[in-house]
Amino acid sequence: MSEKISGIFTPHVVPLDNDGEINEPEFRRYIDWLIEGGVHGLYPNGSTGEFTRFTPEERRNIVRIACEQAAGRVPVLAGAAEANVRETLKACEAYAGYGARAVAIVAPFYYKLCADSVYAYFREIAVNSPIDVTLYNIPMLASPIEIPTLRRLAEFERIVAIKDSSGDLSFMMRMITAVRPDRPDFSFLSGWEAILVPMLLVGADGGTNATSGVVPELTRMLFDLTRGGKIDEAMKLQYRLLELFDVMLFSADFPQGFRAAVELRGFELGTSRQSITEDQKFDRAQLQHLLRCILADFGFVAPPEDACPVRENNPERHQSRQIVDGVMNELRGRGLV
């Protein structure tokens, strides 16, 4: 039996050259840096990697490079979402041949489907895939994977995990309650790092977190602190990472903020395939200035020569603290901590 999927998997960006093509040498250098920074696994062709902006052939090339460069040092969870089941299964076959640990497949998008249709889609993949499958629930962009559907799909041995990007803590708890008693090998991954510590506390096995592509050292530290029971230290770091996450997520069209931050860590990413206006180019420069200020706080980059703006506390941080306190009180009441 393959090892259970757990830890922090990085849905990484893809460097491009001056012609807008995949910059393979820089991509390989970036992968080495992520692994050296402590990530538990790689997640090519995720949302952060802008998989929809590459051709099917390019997506296969991205996974091939990731698997080759990882060379077994960390597992690869390859995004295999295509427009239909046939193309998705072709991707599954290719990625199995490259040596990926598993694939991640988003529920059908564009068309809004009922629960039975979502089940039928994944059932066909589960029956025919040559590689383990991670379900990807992202209800803001695709048909939701509801808990009764998840319970039915968990009956297939080939389906081994779910990545949930809803950010709903109670939904994560309900999924775990519904599936784990019968499938202790089944993995639960959070795609919303703003409350990663609470997710881990209620039983999630890890996360697929874009911030790990910028500060892999810190996301690994957060995971280790939480698993080690050092909750206060973990939450201090969670608060600090939340500021970085919010700036990258909300200050530009996703994932441009993350690309801007990765560049500050020393990588040439080139221009994204998403066209931008001149005003957006100016805004991106301002964003990178703010990101430099935040990363300088951690000692990862030199601070800008001009002054950094005053950064106010985000009220969401206090909400995050309340969530953690509630989780810890519940766990103490059950005698689990």
Q: Tell me: the pLDDT tens digits for 191-204?
A: 999 999 999 999 99
User: Residue 328 carries which side chain, given as an amino acid letter?
Assistant: M
Q: Are the C-beta atoms of 172 and 188 separated by less than 8 Å?
A: yes
Sign of CA dihedral 24, 16, 211, 150: negative
Q: What angle do CA 65, 10, 149 make, to 5 degrees?
A: 105
CA atoms of 186 and 142, how far apart (whole Å): 22
Q: At what angle do helices 231-250 and 216-227 cross, to 10 degrees?
A: 150
What lies within 8 Å, CB to CB, of 101 at 6+ separation is 2, 5, 41, 75, 76, 77, 132
Peptide bond into 216 cis (omega under 30): no
What is the domain partition of the chain in residue ranges? 7-239
**What's the CATH superfamily of 7-239?**
Aldolase class I (3.20.20.70)
Asked if the model's pLDDT at residue 61 lies above 50, the reply is yes
What lies within 8 Å, CB to CB, of 174 at 6+ separation is 147
Half-sphere exposure (Cβ direction) of 248: Cα atoms closer than 13 Å: 27
Calculate the CA 271 to chain-centre distance: 22
Q: Tell me: the pLDDT tens digits for 256-308?
A: 999 999 999 999 999 888 887 877 776 888 899 999 999 999 999 999 888 88
Q: Are the C-beta atoms of 168 and 204 separated by less than 8 Å?
A: no
Total count of residues recorded for the chain: 337
Q: Which two tokens stand for residue 320?
A: 């995050």
Q: What is the per-residue DSSP string for 194-208?
A: GGHHHHHHTT--EEE
- For residue 40, CA distances in Å to 9, 85, 133, 220, 314 come to 6, 29, 18, 8, 29
Q: Are the C-beta atoms of 289 and 304 separated by less than 8 Å?
A: yes
Q: Tell me: the pLDDT tens digits for 70-118?
A: 999 999 999 999 989 999 999 999 999 999 999 999 988 888 899 999 9
What is the pTM assigned to this prediction?
0.90
Q: Tell me: the pLDDT tens digits for 165-218?
A: 999 999 999 999 999 999 999 999 999 999 999 999 999 999 999 999 999 999
3-class DSSP state for residue 142? strand
- For residue 158, CA distances in Å to 80, 86, 265, 301 come to 15, 17, 38, 43
Q: What is the per-residue DSSP string for 152-164?
A: HHTTSTTEEEEEE
Q: Supply the DSSP symbol for 109.
A: B
3-class DSSP state for residue 301? coil
Please identify every residue annotated as catalytic: 136, 163
Asked if the model's pLDDT at residue 314 lies above 80, the reply is no
Query: Which pLDDT value is given to residue 111?
Result: 83
